[in-house]
Structure 1
Amino acid sequence: MDMRLGVPEDHSLTVVALIRAARVSKRLACSPILALFLGLLPAHAAVFDVAAFGAKGDGKTLDRDAIRKAVDAAAAAGGGTVYFPAGTYLTGSIQLRSNLTLQLERGATLEASGDASAYDPPEPNQFTQFQDFGHSHWHNSLIWGDGIENVAIVGGGLIFGKGLGRGNPQGAGDKAIALKLCRNVTLRDFSILNGGHFGILATGVDNLTIDNLKIDTNRDGIDLDACRNVRVSNTSVNSPNDDAIVLKTTYALGAARPVESVTITNCLVSGYDIGSLLDGTYKRTVKQAPDRDGPTGRIKIGTETGGDFRNITISNVVFDRSRGLALEAVDGGRIEDVAISNLIMRDVSNAPIFIRLGSRQRAPEGAPVSAIRRVSISNVVASDVDPRYGSIISGVPGHDVEDVKLSGIRILYRGGLSLDQVAKQPADVVNAFFFRGGVPAREPYATPEREKEYPEPSMFGLVPAYGFFIRHAAGVELSNINVAYMKEDTRPAFVLEDVKDIVLSHIKAQKAEGVPEFKLISVTGLSIDPPQ
């Protein structure tokens, strides 16, 4: 089988070639050779050219109804390939069906209409109180599927969300692709420009393959919510205003369902100006995301964490002009058994590593405090890093981040800050977006807890360590760590507070004259190798 098209190997490409020729030659369209070849294929391999159902592809005519007719015909035949030849297809909602492939030919663009009436309405959902509107509805999207299986969207074409909103309940469609409770889904080889609230929202999807996509969008790129057995590979996501690839566990399905068995590998995430990934200019003129920190464009586990996350690997990823890696458990779910390796980061707009256990508890009453444990992060090289936050590993009083191992980490910060600035929290340096009223002055090592607040490195203001700030943690191991700065920074490299059983091995840290490398506050079970 050729998994790219969902039809027998070689047959799919031959059929598409014959259809192209048939569009040129009416004689071939009636050819007994073509008829014989199509007759030899199983029913699910039939190809349905949207042009044959009235689609104009001129970028002006609303082609939604013609596309729906092609999809209906494929569904009635038991499945098949809905084929989009080169052209611009202005459309509203397209509902996917089981055993269906959308094939976007190179030069084919699905363009989201700005007409709200072209989209299906958001379906009723009684479980909306613990996540926002965008996470809670799927049908009001450009392409959506609900409870289907054996589905693919493939080809070298473009999905352009020109008319999509960004999560406004009163608006038109608000997502490029939304999938709910589906199985055996493949998304491969196409591009998304301006995908609305989500380029791809997959909720409760099992056996999902995302490969060789390019997503250049104005909010989240790929959201994997309560999904199992997922492979994301060879994909580039540019999302300066929000997260690039993010794993979540909301209550949108009515219960806390885990994210598990996920692999993310060989990807780029970035915060270039919107559109400049796809056009190859990689512009860097936008300085801030809506929350007033630098461009986002990162990989994140969280923030919505009602359910558990387990058996996750992330490897071979480039972060460019983006925020760093974030693991955030704040709503009752557990993050455990995670292995992350081979990350390169440049022009990092906040903490390169942010591991936050909090107790926001956006969850049903009685939900436990979250947990983070058995996390391994290795072989990370980060340069030109925002100096305000260092890297952060932080639990909350009585609930430690546990069993985190970091090895082979090299981070070059911009530097240039001092403990005096940490005490004063100057308004021209601190991002006060998450403080609602400004960041008060404080003693330099009196970092506020803020356990119920939205998790983001800037939630603490300036932190007292330029390298690593570790608090409320147990069983942490740091080995082969190298931190330095581009401009002298007079904060300690490491500040450890309420940390138990920590192993430090082969640590190298640049430091200013007279400044300690470590500041230890209520630390027990410290082991340093080699001894210092």
Structure 2
Amino acid sequence: MKRTCTLLGLVVAVVIGLFWSSSAHAAPSAAAPSARTTVTPAVSVFDVRSYGATGDGSTDDSPAVNKAITAANSAGGGIVEFPSGNYKSKHTIHMKSNVTLQLDAGSTVLGSSADTYDAAEPNPYDAYQDYGHSHFHDAMIYGDGLTNIGFTGSGTIDGAGNLITGNPGSGQADKIISLTHCKNLTLSGITLRRGGHFGALINGCDHVTSDHLTIDTASDRDGWNVISTTNATITNAHIAANDDALVFKSDYALGAKLPNGHVTVTGSTLSAQCCNALMFGSETCGDFTDYQFQGITITGASKSGLGMVTMDGANISDVHYRDITMTGVHSPIMQKIGTRKRCGNSPGTGHISGITYDNISATGVSPSFTPTIWGESGGNHITDETFTNVNITVPGGSSAISTSVPSNNATDYNPSSIGTRPAYGWYIHNADNLRFSGSGVKFASNDDRPAVIANTGSDLVFDHFTVQRGSASAYDLGFQSVTGYCVTGSVTTTGSAPRVNSSSSTQHCPTPSTRYEAEDAAYSAGSTVDANHLNYSGSGFVNTDNAAGAYVEFTVNSAAAGSYPVTLRYANGTTTDRPADVIVNGTTVAAAHSFAGTGSWDAWADATLTVPLQAGANTIRVAATTANGDANLDYLDGPA
């Protein structure tokens, strides 16, 4: 669908202008210095020095900062500016709505050892999560229930080694930024350094935007905890943490299970010295859905590079990883369903489903944890996942061990909670409908364990999967009590066929197909090949003109005449169906076939139908029947 970005941007600009113009030029009180304005007359700027801040690095400037914030808020909104200088903050800074803290180049807000920060507030729900997650007032900067707030510029907020990494005592702070129930938050350009337990902790927030944020907590603990938050866009972040770098959680600190999702993270670099680089959990009360991670570099993680656990009853679905490179990770990919159930309202056992990994490269280091997909029994298997062009190199170096199911601590979320996996490349337990395509595993040092072992599950496909064989390994891929496994087109690194061991398992391979990318097809005038959404196959997708009759036409080859299933992958980010005629060799075989909404333009769905094909080349045209045009079309899967 064609988007009118220019018009939308103009509307947004007008709305923002109206908001700021209504709050500009408020008269200061008699006791307060005047606000000075920037070149843009619609936005008032409140210089903290005008309210008593010295910027000399030793005087307590937090009272002056709080006065400037109050003045900006009372004026209806504005920018609180920190010119170049070092601003000591011995007390908690209290954010207020419609205020942006702007840290100019050369400005630093410094934490203090004076033990005069706000005390941690009581929380009747603090039994459901760790102390640091349960209390919010004990921070350098705190706010609750705020709207339209921001932290921008190019300066730094530095705890200066004075924030607490454990449970703070009276007057101590354990986080730089602490926000609850916020809406319309911008966190861009600045650097957060030495944050204690957290560089930034937000909980219960909606509509968060972050660009070029730097967090350096490598000498402390967590980088950014994004908890119970919806509608977030994070671009170009650089987070180097000791504990978790960028982590998505949902706890019970606010007294309810809250939703999470509609999050995009792109173009970012992450590292975690002791723990997880990009993580879901461990606090997982509310459900998570619609996460897009793309163009991310991970340079170290002593636990998981890409970690995902549901320990407290949450359902995690519709999560997509694309174009990610990992080095120095001890556990490249780990998923686990656990049964800790540390959440209010009697949580059950969670689910993980609908996860995709595309174009992932990982190099592991010792001590190594085998990439793992670990579901729970019964109805809590991990389901419906794809791994496309996922290539992992592990350290290796193990001799063959027992291939029985390793031990598991179901209330522990760490990679080490599962015993040594009997496979070096992938260990899969209690999982259904997983497909590995064009992927592979290998080791740096000879490993005599099988490359893959799958235990208990169904419909597991390894299509053009490459494995490295240990010099004394008994087999390459093992299936234990798996209903419907398939190994097709796969080889070892030396080109031989992989050896399969299938104890108490059955083999079933889906009908082979050929993929026809939409960008290689013919399409109507006005259509374009785009790549501005996530999770497409190939180099892009076709976005047709908004017109009835707009089309994409594939040329599909068939070895023999007959009826064949074909699958069209599409995205429709609207709530309106975009029906299209499916026309084969000039004859309409499906009139006004439904292409219903998929929830967003980044979410793709399959439309499958059976069509008659002749031997040789066939044309399959998808032609819009309404003025909305076709849905975005990614590819067609047809007969092999």
| Aligned residue in 2 for 1:296 | 275
Q: CA deviation at 1:133?
A: 1.5
| Aligned residue in 2 for 1:265 | 266
Q: CA deviation at 1:219?
A: 1.0
Q: Structure 1 residues 57 and 196 mapped into 2: Cα distance closer, same or farther (>3 Å)?
A: same
TM alignment of 1:51-66, pairs within 5 A:
51-66=49-64
Contact residue 351 and residue 386 of structure 1 kept, 8 A: no
Q: Structure 1 residues 195 and 75 mapped into 2: Cα distance closer, same or farther (>3 Å)?
A: same
Contact residue 446 and residue 471 of structure 2 kept, 8 A: no
Q: CA deviation at 1:530?
A: 2.8
Q: CA deviation at 1:461?
A: 3.0
| Aligned residue in 1 for 2:289 | 310
Q: In the alignment, residue 95 of structure 1 is paired with which amino acid?
A: H
Q: In the alignment, residue 464 of structure 1 is paired with which amino acid?
A: P
Q: Structure 1 residues 526 and 39 mapped into 2: Cα distance closer, same or farther (>3 Å)?
A: closer
TM alignment of 1:421-440, pairs within 5 A:
none
| Aligned residue in 1 for 2:144 | 146
Are residue 477 (structure 1) and residue 426 (structure 2) matched? no
| Aligned residue in 2 for 1:131 | 129
Are residue 230 (structure 1) and residue 232 (structure 2) matched? yes
Equivalenced residues, count = 461
Contact residue 388 and residue 463 of structure 1 kept, 8 A: no
SS in 2 for 1:195: coil
Q: In the alignment, residue 227 of structure 2 is paired with which amino acid?
A: D
Q: In the alignment, residue 305 of structure 1 is paired with which amino acid?
A: T
Contact residue 412 and residue 486 of structure 1 kept, 8 A: yes
More strand by share: 2
TM-score between the two structures when normalised by the length of structure 1: 0.82
SS in 2 for 1:475: strand
CA deviation profile, 1:297-330 (whole Å, cap 9, x unmatched): 5000111111100011111110102241001011
TM alignment of 1:199-348, pairs within 5 A:
199-217=199-217, 218-240=220-242, 242-271=243-272, 295-322=274-301, 323-348=304-329
Are residue 371 (structure 1) and residue 351 (structure 2) matched? yes
| Aligned residue in 2 for 1:404 | 385
| Aligned residue in 1 for 2:586 | none
TM alignment of 1:39-50, pairs within 5 A:
41-42=41-42, 45-50=43-48
Q: Structure 1 residues 191 and 385 mapped into 2: Cα distance closer, same or farther (>3 Å)?
A: same
Unaligned runs of 5+ in 1: 16-28, 272-288, 290-294, 421-442
For residues 55 and 102 of structure 1, the distance between their equivalents in structure 2, rounded to whole angstroms, comes to: 14
For residues 472 and 62 of structure 2, the distance between their equivalents in structure 1, rounded to whole angstroms, comes to: 69
For residues 139 and 443 of structure 2, the distance between their equivalents in structure 1, rounded to whole angstroms, comes to: 46
From 383, 391, 408, the counterpart of 1:449 = 408
Q: CA deviation at 1:41?
A: 3.1
Q: CA deviation at 1:76?
A: 1.7
| Aligned residue in 1 for 2:425 | 467
Q: CA deviation at 1:120?
A: 1.7
Are residue 418 (structure 1) and residue 411 (structure 2) matched? no
Q: Structure 1 residues 503 and 249 mapped into 2: Cα distance closer, same or farther (>3 Å)?
A: same
Work out which of the two has the higher radius of gyration on C-alpha atoms and give 1 or 2: 2
Contact residue 396 and residue 449 of structure 1 kept, 8 A: no
| Aligned residue in 2 for 1:73 | 71
SS in 2 for 1:492: coil
Q: CA deviation at 1:168?
A: 1.0
For residues 276 and 253 of structure 2, the distance between their equivalents in structure 1, rounded to whole angstroms, comes to: 24
SS in 2 for 1:419: coil
| Aligned residue in 2 for 1:22 | none
For residues 40 and 193 of structure 1, the distance between their equivalents in structure 2, rounded to whole angstroms, comes to: 31
CA deviation profile, 1:271-308 (whole Å, cap 9, x unmatched): 4xxxxxxxxxxxxxxxxx6xxxxx33500011111110
For residues 407 and 103 of structure 1, the distance between their equivalents in structure 2, rounded to whole angstroms, comes to: 43
CA deviation profile, 1:361-391 (whole Å, cap 9, x unmatched): 1123631101001111111011244363210
Q: Which range moved further: 159-168 or 57-66?
A: 159-168
From 453, 465, 482, the counterpart of 1:507 = 465
| Aligned residue in 2 for 1:23 | none
SS in 2 for 1:253: coil
Q: In the alignment, residue 255 of structure 1 is paired with which amino acid?
A: A
SS in 2 for 1:448: coil
Q: In the alignment, residue 317 of structure 2 is paired with which amino acid?
A: E
For residues 166 and 292 of structure 2, the distance between their equivalents in structure 1, rounded to whole angstroms, comes to: 30
Unaligned runs of 5+ in 2: 1-8, 25-32, 491-496, 498-640
Contact residue 467 and residue 494 of structure 1 kept, 8 A: yes
Are residue 392 (structure 1) and residue 372 (structure 2) matched? yes
Q: CA deviation at 1:488?
A: 0.6
CA deviation profile, 1:202-237 (whole Å, cap 9, x unmatched): 101100011101111021111111101001110100
Q: CA deviation at 1:40?
A: 8.4
Q: CA deviation at 1:450?
A: 2.0
Q: In the alignment, residue 178 of structure 1 is paired with which amino acid?
A: S
Q: Structure 1 residues 378 and 385 mapped into 2: Cα distance closer, same or farther (>3 Å)?
A: farther
For residues 81 and 446 of structure 1, the distance between their equivalents in structure 2, rounded to whole angstroms, comes to: 58
Using the aligned pairs only, state the percent identity: 34
SS in 2 for 1:177: strand
| Aligned residue in 2 for 1:108 | 107
CA deviation profile, 1:252-284 (whole Å, cap 9, x unmatched): 11111011101111100014xxxxxxxxxxxxx
Q: Structure 1 residues 113 and 364 mapped into 2: Cα distance closer, same or farther (>3 Å)?
A: same
Q: In the alignment, residue 520 of structure 1 is paired with which amino acid?
A: F
CA deviation profile, 1:62-107 (whole Å, cap 9, x unmatched): 1111111111111221111111111111102111111101010111
Q: In the alignment, residue 174 of structure 2 is paired with which amino acid?
A: D
For residues 64 and 330 of structure 1, the distance between their equivalents in structure 2, rounded to whole angstroms, comes to: 40
For residues 38 and 239 of structure 1, the distance between their equivalents in structure 2, rounded to whole angstroms, comes to: 36
